[in-house]
Amino acid sequence: MVTIGDVARRAGVSRSTVSYVLSGKRAISVATQRRIQEAIEELGFTPNAGARALATSQTMVLGLLLQFHADEFAPAMLQYVLPVSETARAHGYDILMVTDADGPRTIHRIGDSNMVDGFVLLDVTADDPRVPSLREVHQPGVLIGLPRDTREVDAIDLDFTEAARILVDHLHERGHREIVLVTPPHHVVERGGSYVWRFRDAAIERAARYDIRIHAHYGEAQGSAVRRSMNQILDIWPEATALMVHNDATIAALPTILHERGIRVPDDLSVVSLYSRDFGEEFSLPFTAVESAAYELGHTAVTRLVERIQKGREAVPPQVQLIAPAITDRGSTRYLLPS
């Protein structure tokens, strides 16, 4: 391994001078700089990250905590991972990705051993046990998802309440008076996935304001169960003119289900959803939808975290930020004539 000492010897300077050329924290004569640069290139020197971390107490690594749940296939999580990784790199950070089931212990293990400068927590639930651990550790952290207790935490999430309102408004404007809502599966609620009830409650409340009848059902997570349950739901509410879907497995199966029932969109039924464009394109149809904004969430989370790391934990007040959702009209809803 070639060290800073090798470079210094080759360039005929001290190690500190090499270090200062690397960091740019000191004025160095152009001649010396050139000699050092040459030596670095000739020897192929790259500073040892561990040594640097030890000397500076900065690892330039962020910890990313993912959670996998046995009852679901969550490939969509990758949509968050990518912006987190890219944004981190743009700020000079790498990502230590941890998928351990025991989140609290992992935070301590990684944090206490100083492997990272900060944490990003994905898929945060209402009473997420990782949040208290995050307070105990001396690195800052930012949450993607909303815990029940948001005091003193940095959290970012889509504004699911507003998303639901936007979709209900969209249907209301088009004259719909009876809507079926399919949410994520009930076990997500049990796990504390607050986005389920934030979206659901807001949809119900908004519909009530317009005197729209809304029938909310928990969807399923697996193809066959999805189809069975959706067919039952549609059987129960034959008068409904619109369907609001907040459930990946359901939106993927929807084309089949509707076709089997001979239902045309939007002629026979209007459909709105909450999903990502990429997902819809590959696995379903282009429905009018609110974008799940995974990229923006991941990007914002890391930007915030880096700011907090660099300015110190107390400089920036913790903040809960809800990203404003945007609807894209893809023509899957129709205007109802007043009867």
Binding site for DNA (CB under 7 A): 1, 3-5, 12-20, 22-23, 25-29, 31-32, 45-48, 51-52, 54-57
> What residue 216 binds from its own copies, DNA, none (CB within 5 to 8 A, per partner kind)?
none
Establish how many alpha carbons lie within 13 A of residue 55's alpha carbon, considering only the half-sphere containing its beta carbon: 8
- Rounded to a whole number of angstroms, the minimum distance from the CB of residue 248 to its own copies is 7
- Rounded to a whole number of angstroms, the minimum distance from the CB of residue 94 to DNA is 16
In the complex, which residues of this chain contact its own copies (CB under 8 A)?
A: 1, 44, 46-51, 53-54, 59, 61, 64, 68, 72-79, 81-82, 85-86, 89, 94-100, 108-110, 112-115, 138, 221-224, 248-249, 252-253, 255-256, 259-260, 278-286
- Rounded to a whole number of angstroms, the minimum distance from the CB of residue 38 to DNA is 14
List residues bridging with 240 in a β-sheet. none
> What residue 3 binds from its own copies, DNA, none (CB within 5 to 8 A, per partner kind)?
DNA
Whichever of 73 and 335 has its CB closer to its own copies, that residue is 73
C-alpha 185/C-alpha 226 separation (Å) is: 10
> What residue 110 binds from its own copies, DNA, none (CB within 5 to 8 A, per partner kind)?
its own copies
- Rounded to a whole number of angstroms, the minimum distance from the CB of residue 45 to DNA is 6
**CB contact at 8 A, 305 and 272:** no
> What residue 28 binds from its own copies, DNA, none (CB within 5 to 8 A, per partner kind)?
DNA
- Rounded to a whole number of angstroms, the minimum distance from the CB of residue 76 to its own copies is 6
Q: Is 149 helix (H, G, I), strand (E, B) or coil?
A: coil
**CB contact at 8 A, 174 and 162:** no
C-alpha 116/C-alpha 93 separation (Å) is: 10
Pairing of strands 327-328, 288-291: antiparallel
Query: Among the residues of 174-222, which ranges form H helices?
Result: 186-191, 194-209
Q: What share of the chain is helix, strand, coil (3-state, %, to 5)?
A: 45, 15, 35
> What residue 76 binds from DNA, its own copies, none (CB within 5 to 8 A, per partner kind)?
its own copies
Whichever of 89 and 209 has its CB closer to its own copies, that residue is 89
- Rounded to a whole number of angstroms, the minimum distance from the CB of residue 135 to DNA is 22
Whichever of 78 and 208 has its CB closer to its own copies, that residue is 78
> What residue 79 binds from DNA, its own copies, none (CB within 5 to 8 A, per partner kind)?
its own copies
Whichever of 51 and 101 has its CB closer to DNA, that residue is 51
**CB contact at 8 A, 53 and 76:** no
Whichever of 29 and 224 has its CB closer to its own copies, that residue is 224
CA distance to 60, 235, 264, per residue, from 250 (Å):
41, 16, 17
Whichever of 11 and 289 has its CB closer to DNA, that residue is 11
List residues bridging with 80 in a β-sheet. none
Taken as a whole, the chain contains a residue count of 339
**CB contact at 8 A, 318 and 100:** no
**CB contact at 8 A, 80 and 122:** yes
Whichever of 82 and 326 has its CB closer to its own copies, that residue is 82
> What residue 316 binds from DNA, its own copies, none (CB within 5 to 8 A, per partner kind)?
none
Q: Is 80 helix (H, G, I), strand (E, B) or coil?
A: helix
Q: Is 290 helix (H, G, I), strand (E, B) or coil?
A: strand
> What residue 208 binds from its own copies, DNA, none (CB within 5 to 8 A, per partner kind)?
none
- Rounded to a whole number of angstroms, the minimum distance from the CB of residue 180 to its own copies is 20
C-alpha 32/C-alpha 21 separation (Å) is: 9
- Rounded to a whole number of angstroms, the minimum distance from the CB of residue 17 to DNA is 4
Give 173: exposed, middle or buried? Use CB within 10 Å, 0-12, 13-18, 19+.
exposed
